[in-house]
Structure 1
């Protein structure tokens, strides 16, 4: 939908392993100025590196610039791009976590890459997916949002530290690795995904629309 900025891959190449938080809310969601400000504050206060996708028209308040000198203060550790090759980004060794809207495609890509998630759901199936991430998969944490859907800068920073520092981070990373291994096994010959696709094709060829 938008031109990919491949320069972000070179930027990631120059970062240490497991040091970058990737931030992207997919192709449809619109980010409010409050959300942008809170994310920017958390980025500034956490002292982590970030790759942040802000697609064209992503700010519904149409504010073109960050406030309070954010860009200048964080230019060495925050890269803002309009769009990026997400699968390649998630597979990169420097990526330590993913702040996501919990769209199912993004969630699956993170699972396959073994990247811990920070869930910021908005609508439809996203809250359910966020619940799965935190309580069932246990490969991430969920932001505490108010009724307006906004998370505070403090809570964003809390979640960033949960997936990057201390015992909680080690457990989440372990679960992310386990989920990755399980996902890859399903794709191999004889795995459940491979078997189901083969059965689906066989049913179509055999003319079994009720099973297809």
Structure 2
């Protein structure tokens, strides 16, 4: 929201911007903003961004969904303008913070930092699940929704280490796709914990929950960090939103990437091909991820030498995330001291 920074300027305040997506996605949007100002045609812009040296080798399908359709007017046009517009006054902020860490996206971080000073402060995950420097820091913030999770935890406790597939999508599926996911989970033979909102349960195959009760549990909500941190969880099937991606990376959980829209395709590309901590599903010609594909991807993560390799990579990134979190406390101390210097004169000005 660039207008917030503009308002701060009008009030004589210091302005800081926090970018909550990956640095790779930020780099894509920043470059689109710059090239649009230079009136570069969309078709040339797409090719230029996908081959940008600070990013992994991207196909058009790996770019954020708002970007993929920019050659023609689409329902995403206004959304693209909003996300790209974040960077219209990128160089004007006093501070720029990004929810990532240097070792995770070194090339993208270094390139964006070459445009102006930025401070990676990720992974922004409660301390309890990373380095435990703050034992009571278990949630992102207060929540009005406090379900009873005892039954879910007892079920997870009863399973072997790394044997459970955790399935949770931030966005919704249509009925046919829900059925394919359901039967793919069942065909995999793995135990699974699947988060399905109450309003979505009607899309499940008839009697699926009852027929799967020996192997699977379907819940309407879960404390995701607590589930991902549980010893029995060996795979996370996700749409690859940035928060979920950082959580899985930070807790060493391999992923089956099933991106839908916005930044998810780019995150999925990095999950599968750059960090190599998971596999990415492939949709058929109708845009459906079949039950056979779901089963195959789960088995690839959970079984065999490929699964072992993915787990080793996941453990590597977990350790690097923990190191980054330790270093992040130095950044927080810097911010605390800097904030005191910044806000003290501002407070005295408004108190007059």
Q: 1:178 Cα shift?
A: 0.5
| RMSD between superposed Cα atoms in Å | 2.0
Q: Equivalent residue for 2:250?
A: 112
Q: Equivalent residue for 2:163?
A: 19
Q: Which has the higher helix share?
A: 2
Q: Equivalent residue for 1:58?
A: 200
Q: Equivalent residue for 1:198?
A: 333
Q: 1:179 Cα shift?
A: 0.6
Q: Equivalent residue for 1:132?
A: 270
Rounded Cα–Cα distance in structure 2 between residues aligned with 1:108 and 1:202 = 27
Rounded Cα–Cα distance in structure 1 between residues aligned with 2:333 and 2:268 = 30
Structure 2 stretches lacking a partner, 5+ long = 1-143, 344-352
Q: Equivalent residue for 2:312?
A: 174
* Deviant stretches of 4+, over 6 Å: none
Higher RCO (CA-CA < 8 Å; seq separation 6+): 1
Structure with higher Rg: it is 2
| SS of corresponding position for 1:138 | coil
Q: Structure 1, residues 159-185: CA drift from partner, whole Å, max 9, x if none?
A: 101111111000000000001011011
Q: Structure 1, residues 62-95: CA drift from partner, whole Å, max 9, x if none?
A: x36523x433332111100000111010000100
Q: Structure 1, residues 19-76: CA drift from partner, whole Å, max 9, x if none?
A: 10000002xx1121112100111122111100000012236xxx36523x43333211
Structure 1 stretches lacking a partner, 5+ long = none
Rounded Cα–Cα distance in structure 2 between residues aligned with 1:151 and 1:157 = 10
Rounded Cα–Cα distance in structure 1 between residues aligned with 2:335 and 2:287 = 39
Over 3 Å counting, the alpha-carbon distance change for 1:80 and 1:5 in structure 2 is farther
Contact persistence 2:161–2:233 (CA under 8 A):
yes
Rounded Cα–Cα distance in structure 1 between residues aligned with 2:204 and 2:194 = 14
With normalisation by structure 1, the TM-score equals 0.86
Over 3 Å counting, the alpha-carbon distance change for 1:128 and 1:17 in structure 2 is same
